């Protein structure tokens, strides 16, 4: 298992970094044995919330646990990298707070889902917080973000507020997409955040286009295009890699490898590890790094941003992470991985606990401040649920809004004729 | 007015809009050095350079999606498909991403993009290259769909499409590329989307068509006039979505008999929707059932003999018209 993700004979110089233990806690070999049997439940079903059975303890928040410090030396290395050495204590605490806020938001949304306030799917980001927060915190003014359907963490990291996000989950008029997007489709173009996309890998050409538009308009910017490990097997991703390299586009593909494409472990969905090595075929710089260490994420992303800004070259960054919850809430999460595996990651690699330990050691954080941050994050999440609950649903006639720019702007309308063939 | 081909009309529209707006680019397979697979972009690389006229690899999903991403950021890309049939490998980018982003973002994001290229049978290239997807493009709220039939409309509608703030799918026809017609020369010659054209006035029968079928309809109208003294009105839809329902209905109210002609396959085709609208809104004005001629309902055939049977031609349309009289 050791060295699973870097057991190759590739030229070391071609890769930015290859950590020695960038693997999932149990490793693909042990995650699901290959008898070829399909998991019993592998598809999200539009279950009614009442039909979603959750183990009793699953409602309990994912409390950060005390972490035994086997990562100490490594974390010092990244703490002292250029991306992190000038971080002020205040900024570090803010990054910590961001991660805590995301986790508390997700936990509150899970409760709301179980209470029947949220329909459809709910893909939670719990366990992966350092990836979104670390990445977004390394961005400059002209850098942009696009991601897949597990998008709440990225949305909060770019500065969307909990109220508009929770209200969107509730399908309310006050939601960020007026209740028309839902969990998978959050957007905030004013914050350089372009969604929130539901089709696995479907956003990879869009991120490419954002990088293209930045370059075309001579901006010193890049597009961070997040995706999951499962998306690496979609065709448009490879087509995008080819164009990214061929046209020297400043796009950074960030594979948030949480080990599972829905309920299918990496060893069962992908040939040829590490996944990021696929960039090599297109002469794209690639690396594999840890997603549980916020400092390491910032370092990795900063290097790629530098490459994008200075050389207009793409990157493929595989960041090893883990999700504590199922693919979505409708996922029973019992068929394809063990409880022990989840507990082991929580215990040894929880990104929030690890960062807290570092900040305590650095003397920037105290238990009291941490407790206060946690309390405020819970209150903010609770308030967002109250806001969402109290907000009105959209009126039926709002169904017809936001389809076409032209029908929303009748005073500037140039076309004529019938646009809709069944209306409210 | 100058008499130019449909192909030249497209070229003029593209050149004028690329000159007018620095965010307009043309991209697609073979559009630059090769001058376009059908020479639509001839001379444009020399005039505008490789930053504006962009050769792509054969990689529709990537360059279509790239263009959608760029449009979300405010650019106005024109994506050329060598054939609309090739959009099938980019379906997610057009019909999920371009079509839905505005709605799913609650109106925060616009996608001012044009996808264009030929969508027709009749050239003996077999089933994979002969699709006419205007019906299922129009089945997707969020995109607009146009099928210009004349050089003037090709120019005026493409210019309107490029300036449009919503995604537009423009379906052309390789057989029409050499068609000549008069086209106004002024820079601001725009044909609005959603406005049908009564291309021939008549009083006994309405033939409603789009794309190349318009020309078949005009030939049949001539025959009926000459040989049967029947006065036929021909309505060129020009635009599928938005659809000029008013012009369709007023023609039906005038002639009381209607024949719908399209080269599309029949099931859930464009004319299925139009037939519904007519019976729903002009039932009392009909003196006969609505009749329809479409492509024969099998995959597009390769053999010239077979394919010419498959696509509605003068004789098949004439025979169906006679059933109505």
pLDDT at A8 over 50: no
Confidence bin at A74 (pLDDT 50/70/90) = low
Confidence bin at A42 (pLDDT 50/70/90) = very low
At A245-263, the pLDDT tens digits run 999 999 999 999 999 999 9
Least confident range from A60-69, A127-136, A327-336, B98-107: namely A60-69
What does the alpha-carbon distance between residue A91 and residue A81 come to, in Å, rounded to a whole number?
A: 16
pLDDT at A25 over 70: no
At A224-247, the pLDDT tens digits run 999 999 999 999 999 999 999 999
pLDDT at A352 over 90: yes
Residue A54 confidence (pLDDT): 37
Which residue ranges make up each domain of chain A?
A: 69-390, 394-424
pLDDT at A121 over 60: yes
Q: Taking CB atoms and an 8 Å cutoff, what residues of chain B touch A187?
A: 101, 104-106, 108-109
pLDDT at B192 over 80: yes
Q: Is A210 on the interface with B (CB under 8 A)?
A: yes
CATH topology of domain B197-324: Rossmann fold (3.40.50)
CATH superfamily ID and name for A69-390: Thiamin diphosphate (ThDP)-binding fold, Pyr/PP domains (3.40.50.970)
Tell me if domain B2-183 and domain B197-324 are identical in fold: yes
Of A178, A239, A415, the CB nearest to B61: A239
Confidence bin at A29 (pLDDT 50/70/90) = very low
At B281-295, the pLDDT tens digits run 999 999 999 999 999
Q: Which helix (H) or strand (E) holds A131?
A: helix A129-137
Q: What is the mean pLDDT of residues A58-81?
A: 61
Q: What is the mean pLDDT of residues B128-132?
A: 96
Nearest to A126 by CA among A328, A325, A292: A325
Q: Are B165 and A212 an interchain contact pair (Cβ–Cβ within 8 Å)?
A: no
Strands (E) in A93-250, as ranges, are 144-146, 223-228
Q: What is the mean pLDDT of residues A108-129?
A: 96
What does the alpha-carbon distance between residue A68 and residue A357 come to, in Å, rounded to a whole number?
A: 10
Q: What is the mean pLDDT of residues A181-191?
A: 98
Decide if B16 is catalytic.
no
Chain A (244-303) residues lying within 8 Å, Cβ to Cβ, of chain B: 246
pLDDT at A31 over 60: no
Q: Which residues of B186-207 are buried (b: 16+ CB within 10 A; e: fewer)?
A: eeebbbbbbbbbebbebebbbb
Of B66, B190, B246, the CB nearest to A243: B66
Q: Are B64 and A205 an interchain contact pair (Cβ–Cβ within 8 Å)?
A: yes
Token couple for A189 = 């173009």
Please compute, for residue A89, the number of CA atoms within 13 A of its CA located in the half-sphere on the CB side: 9
Mutate to test the interface with A, among B27, B69, B95 (most CBs of A within 10 A): B69
Q: Is there a contact between B78 and B14 (Cβ–Cβ < 8 Å)?
A: yes
Q: Taking CB atoms and an 8 Å cutoff, what residues of chain B touch A195?
A: 101, 104-105
What does the alpha-carbon distance between residue A324 and residue A126 come to, in Å, rounded to a whole number?
A: 6
pLDDT at B61 over 70: yes
Q: Taking CB atoms and an 8 Å cutoff, what residues of chain A touch B165?
A: 405-406, 409
What does the alpha-carbon distance between residue A294 and residue A301 come to, in Å, rounded to a whole number?
A: 11
Q: Is there a contact between A95 and A102 (Cβ–Cβ < 8 Å)?
A: no
Decide if B129 is catalytic.
yes
Chain B (131-190) residues lying within 8 Å, Cβ to Cβ, of chain A: 141-142, 144, 160, 163-166, 190
State the DSSP string of B235-303: EE--EEESB-HHHHHHHHHHHS-EEEE-SS-STT-HHHHHHHHHHHHHGGG-SS--EEE---SSSPP-S
Q: Taking CB atoms and an 8 Å cutoff, what residues of chain A touch B105?
A: 177, 180-181, 185, 187, 189, 195, 402
At B33-59, the pLDDT tens digits run 999 999 999 999 999 999 999 999 999
Residue B31 confidence (pLDDT): 98
Q: What is the mean pLDDT of residues B196-222?
A: 98
Residue A63 confidence (pLDDT): 58
Q: Considering the candidates B16, B60, B80, B307, report the single residue annotated as catalytic.
A: B60
Residue A333 confidence (pLDDT): 75
Q: What is the mean pLDDT of residues A73-97?
A: 91
Helix (H, G, I), strand (E, B) or coil at A5: helix
Q: How far apart are the first and last CA of chain A?
A: 58
What is the pTM for the complete model shown? Answer: 0.91
Q: What percent of chain A has pLDDT over 90?
A: 80
Of B165, B190, B273, the CB nearest to A421: B273
Q: What is the mean pLDDT of residues B275-279?
A: 98
Q: Is A194 on the interface with B (CB under 8 A)?
A: yes
Which residue ranges make up each domain of chain B?
A: 2-183, 197-324
Residue A263 confidence (pLDDT): 94
Q: Taking CB atoms and an 8 Å cutoff, what residues of chain B touch A243?
A: 56-57, 59, 62-63, 66
pLDDT at A104 over 80: yes
Q: Is B64 on the interface with A (CB under 8 A)?
A: yes
Residue A73 confidence (pLDDT): 57
DSSP code of residue B81: P
pLDDT at A318 over 70: yes
Q: Are B193 and A187 an interchain contact pair (Cβ–Cβ within 8 Å)?
A: no
Q: Is B28 left (phi over 0), alpha (psi -120 to 50) or beta?
A: left
At A374-420, the pLDDT tens digits run 999 999 999 999 999 999 999 999 999 999 999 999 999 999 999 99
Of residues B187 and B120, more confidence is placed in B120
CATH class of B2-183: alpha beta
Task: Give the nearest chain B residue to A175 (CA atoms).
Answer: B106
Q: What is the mean pLDDT of residues A122-127?
A: 97
Please compute, for residue B63, the number of CA atoms within 13 A of its CA located in the half-sphere on the CB side: 26
Task: Give the nearest chain A residue to B157 (CA atoms).
Answer: A415
Q: Are B242 and A196 an interchain contact pair (Cβ–Cβ within 8 Å)?
A: no
At B157-176, the pLDDT tens digits run 999 999 999 999 999 999 99
Smallest CA–CA distance, residue A378 to chain B, in Å, is 27
What does the alpha-carbon distance between residue B95 and residue B79 come to, in Å, rounded to a whole number?
A: 14
What does the alpha-carbon distance between residue A104 and residue A106 come to, in Å, rounded to a whole number?
A: 5
What does the alpha-carbon distance between residue B234 and residue B218 come to, in Å, rounded to a whole number?
A: 7
Residue A43 confidence (pLDDT): 37
What does the alpha-carbon distance between residue B200 and residue A157 come to, in Å, rounded to a whole number?
A: 61
Q: What percent of chain A has pLDDT over 70?
A: 82
Chain B (210-249) residues lying within 8 Å, Cβ to Cβ, of chain A: 239, 241-246
What does the alpha-carbon distance between residue A189 and residue B105 come to, in Å, rounded to a whole number?
A: 9
Q: Is B52 on the interface with A (CB under 8 A)?
A: no
Confidence bin at B82 (pLDDT 50/70/90) = very high
Residue A304 confidence (pLDDT): 98
**Burial (Cβ within 10 Å: 0-12, 13-18, ≥19) of residue B210:** buried
Mean pLDDT score of chain B: 98
């Amino acid at each position: 298992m050791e060295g699973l993700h870097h057991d190759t004979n590739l030229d070391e110089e071609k890769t930015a970094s290859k950590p020695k233990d960038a693997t999932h806690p149990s490793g693909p070999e042990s995650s699901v044995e290959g008898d070829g049997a399909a998991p019993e439940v592998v598809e999200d079903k539009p279950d009614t919330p009442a039909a979603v059975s959750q183990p009793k303890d699953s409602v309990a928040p994912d409390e950060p646990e005390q972490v035994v410090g086997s990562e100490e030396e490594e974390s010092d290395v990244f703490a002292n990298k250029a991306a992190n050495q000038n971080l002020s204590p205040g900024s570090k605490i803010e990054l910590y707070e961001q991660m805590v806020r995301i986790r508390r938001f997700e936990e509150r949304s899970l409760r709301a889902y179980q209470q029947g306030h949220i329909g459809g799917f709910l893909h939670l980001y719990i366990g992966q917080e350092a990836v979104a927060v670390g990445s977004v915190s390394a961005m400059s003014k002209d850098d942009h973000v696009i991601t897949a359907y597990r998008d709440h963490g990225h949305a909060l990291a770019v500065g969307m507020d909990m109220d508009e996000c929770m209200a969107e989950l509730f399908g309310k008029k006050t939601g960020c997409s007026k209740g028309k997007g839902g969990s998978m489709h959050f957007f905030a173009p004013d914050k350089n955040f372009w969604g929130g996309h539901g089709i696995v890998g479907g956003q990879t050409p869009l991120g490419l286009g954002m990088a293209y538009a930045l370059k075309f308009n001579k901006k010193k910017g890049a597009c961070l295009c997040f995706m999951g490990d499962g998306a690496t097997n979609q065709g448009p991703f490879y087509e995008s890699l080819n164009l990214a390299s061929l046209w020297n586009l400043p796009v950074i593909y960030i594979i948030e490898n949480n080990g599972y494409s829905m309920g299918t472990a990496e060893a069962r969905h992908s040939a040829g590890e590490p996944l990021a090595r696929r960039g090599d075929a297109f002469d794209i710089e690639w690396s594999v790094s840890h997603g549980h260490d916020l400092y390491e994420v910032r370092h990795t992303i900063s290097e790629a941003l530098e490459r994008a800004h200075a050389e207009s070259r793409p990157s493929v960054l595989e960041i090893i992470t883990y999700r504590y919850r199922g693919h979505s809430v409708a996922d029973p999460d019992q068929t394809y991985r063990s409880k022990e595996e989840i507990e082991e990651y929580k215990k040894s690699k929880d990104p929030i606990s690890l960062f807290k330990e570092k900040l305590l050691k650095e003397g920037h954080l105290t238990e009291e401040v941490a407790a206060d941050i946690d309390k405020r994050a819970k209150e903010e999440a609770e308030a967002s649920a109250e806001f969402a609950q109290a907000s009105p649903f959209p009126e039926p006639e709002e169904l017809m809004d936001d389809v076409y720019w032209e029908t929303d702007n009748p005073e500037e309308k140039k076309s004529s004729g019938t646009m809709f063939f069944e209306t409210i | 007015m100058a008499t130019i081909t449909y192909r030249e009309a497209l070229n003029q529209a593209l050149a004028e809009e690329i000159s007018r707006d620095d965010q307009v680019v043309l991209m697609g397979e073979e559009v630059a050095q090769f001058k376009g697979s059908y020479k639509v972009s001839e001379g444009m690389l020399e005039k505008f350079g490789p930053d504006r006229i962009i050769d792509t690899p054969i990689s529709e999903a990537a360059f279509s999606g790239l263009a959608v991403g760029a449009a979300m950021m405010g650019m106005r890309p024109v994506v050329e498909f060598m054939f609309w049939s090739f959009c099938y490998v980019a379906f997610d980018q057009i019909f999920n991403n371009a079509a839905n982003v505005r709605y799913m973002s609650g109106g925060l994001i616009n996608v001012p993009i044009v996808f264009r290229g030929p969508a027709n049978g009749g050239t003996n290239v077999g089933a994979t290259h002969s699709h006419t997807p205007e019906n299922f493009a129009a089945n997707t709220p969020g995109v607009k769909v146009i099928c210009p039939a004349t050089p003037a409309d090709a120019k005026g509608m493409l210019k309107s499409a490029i300036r449009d703030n919503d995604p537009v799918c423009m379906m052309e026809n390789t057989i029409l590329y050499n068609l000549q017609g008069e086209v106004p020369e002024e820079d601001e010659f725009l044909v609005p989307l959603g406005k049908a054209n009564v291309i021939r006035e008549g009083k006994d029968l309405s033939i409603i068509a789009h794309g190349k079928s318009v020309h078949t309809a005009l030939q049949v109208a001539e025959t009926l006039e000459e040989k049967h003294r029947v006065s036929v009105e021909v309505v060129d839809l020009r635009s599928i979505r938005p659809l000029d329902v008013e012009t369709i209905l007023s023609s039906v109210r005038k002639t009381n008999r209607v024949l719908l002609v399209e080269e599309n396959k029949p099931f859930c085709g464009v004319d299925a929707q139009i037939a519904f609208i007519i019976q729903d809104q002009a039932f009392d004005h009909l003196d006969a059932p609505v009749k329809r001629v479409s492509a024969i309902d099998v995959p597009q055939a390769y053999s010239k003999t077979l394919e010419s049977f498959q696509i509605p031609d003068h004789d098949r349309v004439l025979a169906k018209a006679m059933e109505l009289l």
